[in-house]
A and B are shown apart, each in its own frame.
Chain A
Amino acid sequence: MIHFEGVAFSRGGKTIISDATFDVRRGEKAVITGPSGCGKTTLMMTLPGLVPLDAGRITVDGTELQGDTICEIRRAIAHIGQEPELAAETMGAALMLPFTFRANRDRRPDDAEVDAILDRLQLPHEILEKRCVVVSGGEKQRLVIARALLMKKTIFLTDEITSALDRENRQNVIDLLLGDPDLTVLSISHNQRWIDRCGKTLEVEGQRVHVRGA
């Protein structure tokens, strides 16, 4: 379970959130909403410890986020951003990048798993041979989703991940992530279908987070 308690943080001396208290239970799907620039992405990035807290505490499955637990918590989380960052030359290298790191070497997927996830996201297998600069934004987005799923994480942080996808692929991704009862998803989205499928809404308003639903 993800637990935020009295979390406050600032950027450049300006308070962004002064009190965020909420839970996201195991298997729950939560969406953060609010106007542009209100701090949704920054709020999400506190969970993997990429934004320092001014006050409050965050726990993931009972482990409190601290200097010495950050790596452990990050290992439990898959993050997919709005603009896909592939961090590799080719699509194949990008897909396999996490498994070159010591923490994930024992999770390296076999060919059948790779084929299955590419099929599920309607990505042609030949795409793995292509250089990242020549593929479309939608294909890149689906590849980073495939990469995150191959890592077999149970907590997903997603930030507007359907914005570059067509209607069919958007629905496919919604079904894949929000339809899986084993995945805990903390997301940001302006897409109404996505919001409707999430059981909990965390609305950012005036430096506070209001919990609606569930």
Chain B
Amino acid sequence: MGTVDLNWLQMAAIYSLALVPLFLIWRLRLGLLTQTLVAGVRMSVQLLLVGLYLNVLFEWENVWLNAAWMIVMITVANFSILKQSGLRRRRFMPITLAGTTVVSVGVTMFFVAVIIRPDPILGARYLIPIFGMVLGNCIRGNVLSLERFYHGIRQREKEYVTRLMLGANPSEATEPFMVESLRAALGPHLAVMATMGIVSLPGMMTGQILGGSAPLIAIKYQIAIMICIFTVMLAGSALNIYLSRKVAFDPCGTLRQDIFVE
């Protein structure tokens, strides 16, 4: 049993549902009308393009083409991480690029090439969607943790300097900020994990069931992807904070003010 396709008329009908939030945004004067329209159009166009591109990837089944697409995904992800966390690309990009790549590619490869082992082993059908899910959550974790970490130190600079002056080394001085930022990054995911299956049926599992998979197979994949996401969120966030400290502080241990986008 395959997924029921949606024809253009059905798609038009689902788009018409979006008129409800658009009306509410306008009526409640939320000031989000343009932003919502732009986001909606971007989402539609980007997904359409990626759908077409994924078709090509699936047909060609070329490892190098898959790798090239993953590089594009990582690059765009890092632009997004730094933009949303309010940090300067010039200083942080090489670091977050390295940290995000190591963690997201490592975890994806472990899941796909070691655990699932599809045929072909690095085929686009498994590799690209799983990498997309892992990377998407890596972005969320990194935005929250980097933003909390650096803006937290900036806002509570006195506390940070006091710790330094009391004899803390840079790692000890930043420890409470690191703990807070990682907790902030993991909190929402932990809440989702704790209620999964009761409050929410996750997207991957729903997609697999709609695609005709047996529920138990879908559940196994869902558990696996949740563990991958949790790993990548924590390891990616921690690694990026750890690596980025080298460029964010001067040799005196003072937080550089030019790391922030004003």
Q: Do A and B bind each other?
A: yes
- Asked if A49 and B159 sit within 8 Å, CB to CB, the answer is no
- Asked if B165 and A77 sit within 8 Å, CB to CB, the answer is yes
- Residue of B162, B168, B251 contacting most chain A CB atoms (<10 Å): B162
Closest to B165 in A: A79
For the complex, what is the distance from the CA of A70 to the CA of B251, rounded to whole Å?
Answer: 8
Cβ of A87 < 8 Å from any Cβ of B? yes
For the complex, what is the distance from the CA of A189 to the CA of B129, rounded to whole Å?
Answer: 64
Q: How large is the interface on B (under 10, 10 to 19, 20 to 34, 35 or more residues)?
A: 10 to 19
- Asked if B165 and A48 sit within 8 Å, CB to CB, the answer is yes
Closest to B161 in A: A50
- Asked if B252 and A50 sit within 8 Å, CB to CB, the answer is yes
Contact A52/B252 with A85-B158, A102-B172 known, Cβ cut-off 8 Å: yes
Contact A104/B167 with A50-B252, A50-B254, A70-B251 known, Cβ cut-off 8 Å: yes
Task: Convert A59-70 into 0s and 1s, putting 1 for each residue whose CB lies closer than 8 angstroms to a CB of B.
Answer: 000000001001
Contact A97/B166 with A50-B161, A85-B158, A87-B159 known, Cβ cut-off 8 Å: yes
Cβ–Cβ < 8 Å partners of B253 in chain A: 49-50, 70
Cβ–Cβ < 8 Å partners of A71 in chain B: 169
Closest to A103 in B: B167
Q: How large is the interface on A (under 10, 10 to 19, 20 to 34, 35 or more residues)?
A: 20 to 34
Within 75-113 of A, Cβ neighbours of B (below 8 Å) are at: 75, 77-79, 81, 83, 85, 87, 97-98, 100-104
Cβ of A26 < 8 Å from any Cβ of B? no
Closest to A70 in B: B252
For the complex, what is the distance from the CA of A147 to the CA of B172, rounded to whole Å?
Answer: 18
Closest to B170 in A: A71
Tell me, rounded to whole Å, the shortest Cβ–Cβ distance linking B78 to chain A.
29
Q: Which of B158, B167, B172, B251 contacts A74 (CB under 8 A)?
A: B167
- Asked if B172 and A85 sit within 8 Å, CB to CB, the answer is no
Which residues of B line the A interface, CB within 8 A?
158-159, 161-169, 172, 250-254
